[in-house]
Amino acid sequence: MSGDAVGRAVGEGWTAEHIPSQAGRRALITGANSGIGYQTALELARKGAHVLLACRNRQRGDAALERLCAKVPGASAEVVLLDLASLESVCAFGAAELGLGKPLDLLINNAGVMAPRTRQQTADGFEAQFGTNVLGHFVLTAVLLPALVRAAAAHPQRPRVVTVASIAHKQGQLDFDDLQSVANYKPMAAYRQSKLANLMLAFELDRRLRVAASPISGVMSVAAHPGVANTPLFQSGEFSAVERVVRRGLGVAIGALLNSDAEGALPTLFAATAPDAVDGGYYGPQGFQEMRGGDVGVAKVAAPALDRRAATRLWSECERLTGVSLL
């Protein structure tokens, strides 16, 4: 990890009850209508944050907001429309958000596309997983950085960018000659590449923030992964009828033996709020093979994610592909 070394028991016994008060803070969570994103929004709302549920579908977003408010009466929350598969949507949202003149204390880059059976494209012609999971969040972070910097200058608690990665990054490989998987599309290979890229960019963002001038240097970059959780990301998508049945069955097994979406959200919540979380930290569950719950602690990082030269190249490629500069 790119941050300071921390013992694996850093989050021993840590639960959502340990989240410090988030009163007065604004938090944006992408993909907040379901799964880990929803659970993250729910717990932050319980602790008093004003939560922005960033969703691409208004109906699903409103349904999630209704569920959240039923669980947390008086919650300060709203739905904002954001489609990470469209850079036009991301930039338009960013401009509207900055136009409010408000600080943003937490940006939680959670939304993701996982392993569609056939190669799909975003509105901008990128492979759907790389375009959404990586490029969409890269541009969102870039356009919202001024709001995060505003929070760094205004509040004692440092603002954080939290990137939700995956244990799948350990099998990921970056193919700079075919980042868009045009020549060779394999669903899980493309997903693993996107998650490796997410983690590499989180570490690279940390390195760049550390050397930036104040108040930009006051922004933290932290990453987390949920282990293996029974979320809609696992069960939904372009699957055959047989595959859907199998995945539902696996979902039941995951729910019984591994993580629920609420448990899977704990590392994200730790990264977003815990005083013990450090710049450049990467956190995950500490159960078997980091797949299941238990204590939250420092997660294992595959060697390719620590390749600084590759990370710099990836960063430049993201800027080239999107036409947006970040630090």
What pLDDT does 152 receive?
93
CA angle 278, 302, 7 (to 5 degrees): 35
In tens, the pLDDT along 77-118 reads 999 999 999 999 999 999 999 999 999 999 999 999 999 999
Q: Give pLDDT, residue 289.
A: 77
* Cα gap 291→10, rounded to integer Å: 18
pLDDT for position 231: 58
Reported confidence tier of residue 154, pLDDT bands at 50, 70, 90: confident
Query: pLDDT value at position 118?
Result: 97
DSSP string, 185-234: --HHHHHHHHHHHHHHHHHHHHHHHHHSPTTGGG-EEEEE---SB--HHH
Average pLDDT, the chain: 90
User: Residue 239 above 80 pLDDT?
Assistant: no
Q: Which pair of tokens denotes residue 78? A: 């709203």
**Which pLDDT belongs to residue 247?**
46
Better pLDDT: 63 or 290: 63
Question: Pairing mode, if any, of strands 160-164 and 106-109?
Answer: parallel
Mean pLDDT of 182-204: 98
User: In the 8-state DSSP scheme, what is residue 259?
Assistant: B
Helix (H, G, I), strand (E, B) or coil at 5: coil
From residue 21, alpha-carbon distances to 42, 43, 44, 76, 280 in Å are 14, 11, 9, 14, 23
Query: What per-residue confidence (pLDDT) applies to 241?
Result: 54
With a CB cutoff of 8 Å and minimum separation 6, the contacts of 225 are 164, 165, 166, 167, 169, 267, 282, 283, 284, 290, 299
Name residue 269's amino acid: L
Higher confidence at residue 133 or residue 10?
Answer: 133
Residue 66: Cβ within 10 Å count: 11
Q: Is 185 one of the annotated active-site residues of the chain? A: no
**pLDDT tens profile 247-276:** 454 545 445 556 788 999 999 999 999 999
With beta carbons less than 8 A apart as the criterion, state whether 152 and 212 touch: no
> What single string gives the DSSP state of each residue in 10-58?
TBTT--GGGPPP-TT-EEEEETTTSHHHHHHHHHHHHTT-EEEEEES-H
Exactly one of 38, 185, 191, 282 is catalytic; name it: 191
pLDDT for position 258:
67
Share of the chain above pLDDT 90, in %: 81
Sign of CA dihedral 296, 248, 118, 138: negative
Domain locations along the chain: 19-319
- The reported pLDDT for the residue numbered 290 is 81
Q: Identify the CATH homologous superfamily for domain 19-319.
A: NAD(P)-binding Rossmann-like Domain (3.40.50.720)
